[in-house]
Amino acid sequence: MGLRRSEAIESRFSAYVEGLTSVIGHADRAKPLRDYCMGLMMPCERKSVEPMAAITAPERTAAQHQSLLHFVGEGKWSDEKVLAKVRELVLPQIERHGSIEAWIIDDTGFSKKGQHSVGVTRQYCGQLGKQDNCQVAVSLSLANHHASLPVAYRLYLPEDWAKDSGRRRKTGVPEEVSFKTKPEIAIEQITAACAAGLPRGVVLMDAGYGNNSELRADITALGLTYVAGILSTTTVWAPGTGPLPAKKWSGIGRPPTLLRRDGKHQPISVKELALGLPKRAWRVVKWREGSAEWLSSRFARVRVRAARRDFKLTESRPEEWLLIEWPEGEKEPTKYWLSNLPKDIAFRQLVDIAKLRWRIERDYQELKQEVGLGHFEGRGWRGFHHHATLCVAAYGFLVSERETIPPSRPHSAALFQELAVRDGYRPRGSAIAA
């Protein structure tokens, strides 16, 4: 029975790789594509090129190492085409369990020593929870309550890197790549997803993106809805308040058009608003079943208008939801979101959608722990993105096979038997080698 199951998985994996091969160009790329994806899914300690060469071709490790190294570091194949094929193959499997509900924007960091790997600079690294030398990449994932899949992924190139022609040349940064902020990369990915006709969902983002009012406006302009994390200092107009209209025209000069504020008409921070809400505004809401019990917390929601720099506008911003979380036992609210979802959306549904952003955390956890997203050891732009694309491809296959994997086992270990590695072999970077 186990042999039949293994053969069935191998057959589906072969069909999956064949689909990817159809967009990767030359036929001689088919084998390294298969071997690289297989290596990413095998239960080995580190998923950099050398250990994967040893585990996928133990009798010809040196030759395999060179083949995979060239394929990922130098191969002139399109990341965009491969990612498009991955979503074509995997999204139908996800949608069998329900329509796409969310587009999740986020970024992830990879700690790096030295200054020579593309995009490395001292910046905030979520993996470490502090400022340090690292690379950061921005991604867009499509999700429902069953699963999620990254559909876009791009390295954030800091401004000092973008202006340094020498480092750009050494690491192969394409000429057309210029400095863009993370929110600017995010809106490019969202715009491309709209153009590709991907099934739409509510755009979810943490405060690193959601606090950017221009990004929220751009998302709205694309006809999308969002639930955006914001900082406690974000200012809004509380219910029943708002900026003053433009001054009356005196008949001299141009008629005034801009909104105004005065001593009696000022916005307040969302934290101040939350602390002033009556007890009846708060209610306990359950949003999904956890590993042991239903997840729940205390929330309030209020209709507000975002206030940032609206004195430079001619009309007030539209009303939207301010959602606030204040868990029992905490001294003050812990999370805030703005959302342009419909006024008549149910309270629990609003909370449920806001909390669906946990899917991106699961994405990154599994991409890093199971398929080695952060294990690439090269320095170049092309290799960085090729490795990430193949990690997403491997992850996509694991997502499509999720129902065949026993809940208690890691995805990769449950799918493929560990291949033989010659006795005494210790790849660079392994704990034993160190």
Q: Would residue 51 count as lying in a domain?
A: yes
Structure-model confidence comparison of residues 113 and 276, the more confident one: 276
Q: Residue 428 above 60 pLDDT?
A: no
Number of domains in the chain: 2
CA distance 394 to 299: 38
pLDDT at 26: 81
pLDDT (mean) for 219-241: 95
pLDDT at 20: 95
- Taken in order 50, 53, 55, 58, is the CA torsion positive or negative? negative
User: Looking at the structure, do residues 309 and 373 belong to the same domain, yes or no?
Assistant: no
pLDDT in tens, 359-390: 998 889 999 988 999 999 889 999 999 999 99
Q: Would residue 380 count as lying in a domain?
A: yes
CB atoms closer than 10 angstroms to residue 110: 23
pLDDT (mean) for 291-314: 87
Domain end: 348, 375, 392, which one?
348
Q: Would residue 197 count as lying in a domain?
A: yes
User: Looking at the structure, do residues 181 and 57 belong to the same domain, yes or no?
Assistant: yes
* C-alpha pair distances (Å), 411 with each of 28, 388, 414: 29, 18, 5
Q: Residue 425 above 80 pLDDT?
A: no
CA distance 242 to 245: 9
Q: Residue 417 above 60 pLDDT?
A: no
User: Looking at the structure, do residues 30 and 114 belong to the same domain, yes or no?
Assistant: yes
CA distance 171 to 167: 6
CA distance 284 to 288: 13
User: Looking at the structure, do residues 165 and 51 belong to the same domain, yes or no?
Assistant: yes
pLDDT (mean) for 286-305: 89
Which range marks the domain in which residue 334 is found?
Answer: 231-248+255-348
First to last CA, the chain: 41
Structure-model confidence comparison of residues 92 and 259, the more confident one: 92
User: Looking at the structure, do residues 194 and 313 belong to the same domain, yes or no?
Assistant: no
CA distance 361 to 106: 9
pLDDT at 318: 86
User: Looking at the structure, do residues 115 and 31 belong to the same domain, yes or no?
Assistant: yes
Residue type, 332: E
pLDDT at 109: 92
HEC string of the chain equals CHHHHHHHHHHHHHHHHHHHHCCCCCHHHHHHHHHHHHHHHCCCCCCCHHHHHHHHCCCCHHHHHHHHHHHHHCCCCCHHHHHHHHHHHHHHHHHCCCCCCEEEEEEEEEECCCCCCCCCEEEEECCCCEEEEEEEEEEEEEECCCCEEEEEEEECCCHHHHCCHHHHHHHCCCCCCCCCCHHHHHHHHHHHHHHCCCCCCEEEECHHHHCCHHHHHHHHHCCCCEEEEECCCCEEECCCCCCECCCCCCCCCCCCCCCECECCECCEEHHHHHHCCCHHHCEEEEEEECCCCEEEEEEEEEEEEECCCHHHCCCCCCCEEEEEECCCCCCCCCEEEEECCCCCCCHHHHHHHHHCCHHHHHHHHHHHHCCCHHHCCCCCHHHHHHHHHHHHHHHHHHHHCHHHCCCCCCHHHHHCCCCCCCCCCCCCCCCCCC
Residue type, 283: R
pLDDT in tens, 14-71: 999 999 999 998 888 999 999 999 999 988 778 889 889 998 898 899 999 999 999 9
Structure-model confidence comparison of residues 122 and 405, the more confident one: 122
Domain end: 308, 327, 348, which one?
348
User: Looking at the structure, do residues 55 and 173 belong to the same domain, yes or no?
Assistant: yes
Q: Would residue 399 count as lying in a domain?
A: yes
For residue 247, what pLDDT band results from cuts at 50, 70 and 90?
confident
User: Looking at the structure, do residues 160 and 263 belong to the same domain, yes or no?
Assistant: no
CA distance 229 to 94: 26
pLDDT (mean) for 230-259: 83
pLDDT (mean) for 420-434: 40
pLDDT at 266: 86
Q: Residue 396 above 70 pLDDT?
A: yes
pLDDT at 255: 79
Q: Would residue 425 count as lying in a domain?
A: no
Q: Would residue 155 count as lying in a domain?
A: yes
322 phi/psi in degrees, rounded to 5: -105, 115
User: Looking at the structure, do residues 331 and 394 belong to the same domain, yes or no?
Assistant: no
For residue 413, what pLDDT band results from cuts at 50, 70 and 90?
very low
User: Looking at the structure, do residues 131 and 97 belong to the same domain, yes or no?
Assistant: yes
For residue 415, what pLDDT band results from cuts at 50, 70 and 90?
low
Beta bridge partners of 235: 269
Structure-model confidence comparison of residues 330 and 402, the more confident one: 330
Q: Would residue 434 count as lying in a domain?
A: no
Residue type, 258: L
For residue 3, what pLDDT band results from cuts at 50, 70 and 90?
low
156 phi/psi in degrees, rounded to 5: -80, 120
The CA-based angle 135-140-143, given to 5 degrees, is 135
Q: What is the pTM of this model?
A: 0.89
Q: Residue 419 above 60 pLDDT?
A: no
Tell me the average pLDDT of the chain: 88
Residue given tokens 């008949």 in the structure block: 251
Please, are residues 355 and 295 in contact by the beta-carbon 8 Å criterion? yes
Q: Would residue 390 count as lying in a domain?
A: yes
pLDDT at 191: 98
Structure-model confidence comparison of residues 141 and 28, the more confident one: 141
User: Looking at the structure, do residues 305 and 181 belong to the same domain, yes or no?
Assistant: no
278 phi/psi in degrees, rounded to 5: -70, 160
Q: Residue 233 above 60 pLDDT?
A: yes
368 phi/psi in degrees, rounded to 5: -85, -45
User: Looking at the structure, do residues 136 and 22 belong to the same domain, yes or no?
Assistant: yes
For residue 418, what pLDDT band results from cuts at 50, 70 and 90?
very low
Domain end: 290, 313, 348, which one?
348
279: which 2 tokens?
């007890």
